[in-house]
Chain A
Amino acid sequence: MMRLLSLLVLLASGVAHGAEFGTLLAEKSSIAFVSKQMNVPVEGAFRKFTAQIVLDPARPEAGRAQIEIDLASIDAGSEEANEEVKGRSWFNVRDFPRAVFSSTSVKSLGGGRFETGGKLSIRGKALEVRAPFTLRQEKDILTVDGSFQLKRLDYGIGSGIWSDTSVVADEVQIKFHFVLSPTRK
């Protein structure tokens, strides 16, 4: 009996481990954003980032994420915009090369939707953000899709002449798409 029980426990833990996704498929993942310039939506993206995400679709609440974005890898829509936003009045990538998100919680919103909360640090300023996301599992691939809005001026992104929000809106929509395979053991 004891042997049967311990076998069951072993099996159960084996299944649980097998369902944990923690390997990022970087080429298939993306962090994009949409800003508004003169009310014109302009798409952008960060080409380089690392994301340490551990998620078990059976227990999403136990998930955690640490995402680091290389801000100099920004594609803000045009070459001159790319140069501009790396500069002092925007991201100031020389002094603050990375943006970091560290999750502190994941909760279910119901209907297959979840929300992660955590701290997002940009330009040396850490602020609470919450981002809803969905999960889609196909065999050994787990896809995390979500988006949230931040206010660039909360972080001092685009100061001086650029703080005029009638030209570049304060709100920026961030869209993330992470593709994960099971944790390698």
Chain B
Amino acid sequence: MIPDRYTHTAIALHWLTALLIVALFPLGVYMADLALSPLKLKLISYHKWLGVTVFLLLLLRLAWRLGHKPPPLPDGMPLWQRHAANGLHLVLYLLLFAIPLSGWLMSSAKGFQTVYLGVLPLPDLIGKDKALGDLLREVHEVLNMTLLVMLLAHVAAALRHHFIERDGILARMLPFLDRGDSK
């Protein structure tokens, strides 16, 4: 039996976010240790633009979720799994909020404003402050390592549901599987 699926919009937003994170994470790790060069300045800008995009997608997802409840978990799912799933999703949402925010603040503290796509300047919420900038960089890194661990758990859980429990949980979020009954 296949439970109700997520809406097309929720599925698209989920996988777009996933794709961006797969690009952002190695980009961030790689550029951080590069010596100063035009390439580094470009990569930092691209990283910021993608990060702002993830942040915007998160806001869209939350707004969409308010009007479109996710499909219910299967009836037979143990309580601990329900709590674990909901808790993990909450943590992922929090990280997707906190990570771009810490990057944005770090950028301001280091004295470099974020200009989205090179055209839309984001306000500097804090002034230039080297010590704070270094601290925010640490925060940004720790949050990202936490995200990495949480995402591994997220993927492992999805695969476990799909291949071991075979309860159709993963299929609810997979694109191109719909039978014409979702919107």
Contacts and interface: CB of A to CB of B under 8 A. Distances in A.
A167 B37 CA distance: 10
Chain B interface, DSSP helix/strand/loop, else mixed = loop
Size class of the contact patch on chain A: 10 to 19
Given A38-B45, A78-B110, A164 B115 contact: no
B111 A42 contact: yes
Contacts of A41: 113
Contacts, number: 37
B38 A164 contact: yes
Given A42-B112, A78-B111, A168 B118 contact: no
Interface in B93-129: 110-115, 118-119
B38 A162 contact: yes
Contact of B42 (A42, A81, A84, A167): A167
A145 B114 CA distance: 29
- 7 A-B pairs with the lowest CB-CB distances in the bound complex, closest first: A38-B45, A167-B38, A39-B118, A80-B36, A40-B115, A84-B36, A164-B38
Given A167-B41, A167-B42, A40 B113 contact: yes
B113 A38 contact: no
Interface of B: 35-38, 41-42, 44-45, 110-115, 118-119
A167 B38 CA distance: 6
Given A39-B119, A41-B113, 4 more contacts: A38-B42, A39-B118, A40-B115, A164-B38
Contact of B38 (A43, A78, A81, A161): A161
A37 interface: yes
A38 B115 contact: yes
A165 to B, nearest CB: 10
A168 B111 contact: no
15 contacts: A37-B112, A38-B42, A38-B118, A39-B118, A39-B119, A40-B115, A42-B112, A77-B112, A78-B110, A78-B111, A84-B36, A161-B38, A167-B38, A168-B38, A168-B41
A39 B37 contact: no
Nearest to B118: A39
A41 B111 CA distance: 10
A145 to B, nearest CB: 22
Interface string A72-93: 0000011011001000000000
A51 to B, nearest CB: 26
Nearest to A83: B36
B37 A161 contact: yes
Given A80-B36, A81-B36, A84-B36, A37 B111 contact: no
Contacts of B113: 40-41
Contacts of A168: 38, 41
Contacts of A37: 41, 112
A39 B111 contact: no
Contacts of A43: 111
Contacts of B41: 37-38, 167-168
A160 B158 CA distance: 50
Contacts of A84: 36
B114 to A, nearest CB: 8
Interface in A8-65: 37-43
A84 B35 CA distance: 10
